Amino acid sequence: MKFRIEKQDGFARLGKIGEFITPHLIDIRIKNEVEFFEALAERRPPEAVRRILPETYEAFLKSGLIKKAVTGNELPKDKIEILLEAGKGGEPLYVPAIALPWNAAFLIYAGADVLDNALALKKAYDGIYLTEAGELKIESLKELPCSCEACINREQYRNDFEFLSEHNTLILQKEIKLARTALRNESLRELVEMRVKASPETTSMLRIFDRISDSPFARFRKSPVYPNSEDSFFRPDFRYYFERLYETYDPQSHIALLLPCSARKPYMLSKSHRRIRSVLGSALKGVNEVIISSPFISPREFELIYPIAFYDTPTTGVWSDWEVDFVAEKLAGLLNRFERVVAYLHGGYRKVAEKAGDMAGKDIEFFEDLKDLRRVLENEEKEKFDLYKEIFRHMTRYQFGVEFEIDRVRGRYPELEFFRKERVARVDPRYGNLDIYAPLATYLKDAGSYTVEIAEFEVKGTIFSQGVLNADEKIRPNDVVVYYNSTTTGVGQAMIPGKYMGEVDGRAIISRRKIQ
């Protein structure tokens, strides 16, 4: 029996073990289910064996399909380290006796494939009624805040323990199903951030996880992003965006114009940005635009990339000191790439720019009137560039780490297509990246970048992990990749990280097109 992975996002995986869909909740009241998973789990002898016979301890170990990460009363940091250490391989991970409705999504996000209801049953024994938002003493409830089958039929149970055992298990099962749905929809992180607020310990675990884990998160997603709290600012995919921004941003002008963000994405289609661009007109040619938001900084060349084209953030008009400091620090990292910086900003946006200017030692000229700004830009000597070609150049650098020349651009923004004699790539608005065609795919294949070597078989749609011979370890879920063997080259979408291809069961790549 093998662990079959259907979809992966970071450490979280949607898959199957035998007949069971994972992530899965073991109901320890069901003997056959417990025996099935115990038979597959790695065995560890009592700790006394290590103390009494340390030289033979290893002989008692038995590896199984499923690894266990056993936690107890450790501090949150220690629990995270146990989870990360146990989840290093491709085996499914069982985390027993820890799952509760408000931490189940996080445990799955951190790599748990199998959980159980042991702690939920312990809570039932203690008279605790579980909800997604926390726990309540059963005797304190004047009405039941739930419509599960157990709550609807409470009078059928002989005692509180029997009732609570069923209710607590049902609400935990519901949470596991919700996490599976979020995994399919690529919105598990949003669910995690909602749930952890019910528990200081789980909130601490998320913050520590974000700081110390090396999650194989998807760089591009098809789901909206809601950075609704400070915890959102340190998401692994957000950190990655800023790292790649600083590594790949190569402005063509010596002058930058700082602008506020807009509710509509991409920014250039918003009413406010259309107005700004209309008033500035040709004076904007040869100027690099940089858009300020919370928590992002986005040069115009990056506004079609995930997460910039996908986020929606609460707008009150009031910036906290913490927000100002965070965004100003990110902006300061870009300002010294320009000789001159001008800005059309107000309120909190201006505070961010002023603080960033102080941090970078850069004077910023602020304008209240767009016509005054236009006159200044008209008098500035600058070298014009093609914005759409620059968007392609930066998306290619960001996504693949390569430079590739094109000669023309077609399409209506943001659905742009890029050509060099034939079509090279197009913007894929579903994922915030580039979908590629023969010229760029061949270039990547020759460079050995984002490539997957497969066995000698005919590709008909899905490439399974068993058919992969070698894969670039830079590959993450949802990445556009080039697959090849001696007779076929094609473009596909990765379903799992490159380092797991060939090592686990399940789908590795969904083919989009053959190019040879």
**Higher-scoring residue by pLDDT: 378, 314:** 378
- Model confidence pTM above 0.95: no
Position 40 scores a pLDDT of 85
Position 71 scores a pLDDT of 87
Q: What is the C-alpha to C-alpha distance for residues 306 and 406, in angstroms, rounded to an integer?
A: 22
Query: Amino acid identity of 502?
Result: G
Q: What is the C-alpha to C-alpha distance for residues 383 and 17, in angstroms, rounded to an integer?
A: 60
Q: Identify the structural domains of the chain with CATH numbers, from first to last.
A: 3-212 (3.20.20.105), 230-387 (3.40.50.10630), 437-514 (2.30.130.10)
Asked whether 327 and 297 are in contact (CB, 8 A), the reply is yes
Give the residues across from 4 on adjacent strands.
16, 505
pLDDT category at 314 given cuts 50, 70, 90 is confident
pLDDT category at 2 given cuts 50, 70, 90 is confident
How does DSSP classify residue 429? Answer: T
Q: What is the C-alpha to C-alpha distance for residues 484 and 292, in angstroms, rounded to an integer?
A: 41
Q: What is the C-alpha to C-alpha distance for residues 22 and 252, in angstroms, rounded to an integer?
A: 49
Position 68 scores a pLDDT of 87
**366, 227, 246, 448: CA torsion to nearest 10:** -150
Q: What is the C-alpha to C-alpha distance for residues 376 and 359, in angstroms, rounded to an integer?
A: 25
- The pLDDT tens digits of the residues spanning 22-79 come to 999 999 999 989 988 888 887 665 566 566 666 655 655 556 788 888 888 899 999 9
Position 70 scores a pLDDT of 86
Position 313 scores a pLDDT of 86
Q: What is the C-alpha to C-alpha distance for residues 284 and 96, in angstroms, rounded to an integer?
A: 59
The distance of Cα 302 from the centroid of its chain, to the nearest Å, equals: 18
* Token representation of residue 48: 């006394």
- The pLDDT tens digits of the residues spanning 172-195 come to 999 999 999 999 999 999 999 999
- The pLDDT tens digits of the residues spanning 250-281 come to 999 999 999 999 999 999 999 999 999 999 99
Q: What is the C-alpha to C-alpha distance for residues 101 and 329, in angstroms, rounded to an integer?
A: 37
- The pLDDT tens digits of the residues spanning 414-467 come to 999 999 999 999 999 999 999 999 999 999 999 999 999 999 999 999 999 999
Q: What is the C-alpha to C-alpha distance for residues 220 and 114, in angstroms, rounded to an integer?
A: 26
**Burial group, residue 485, by CB count within 10 angstroms (0-12, 13-18, 19+):** middle
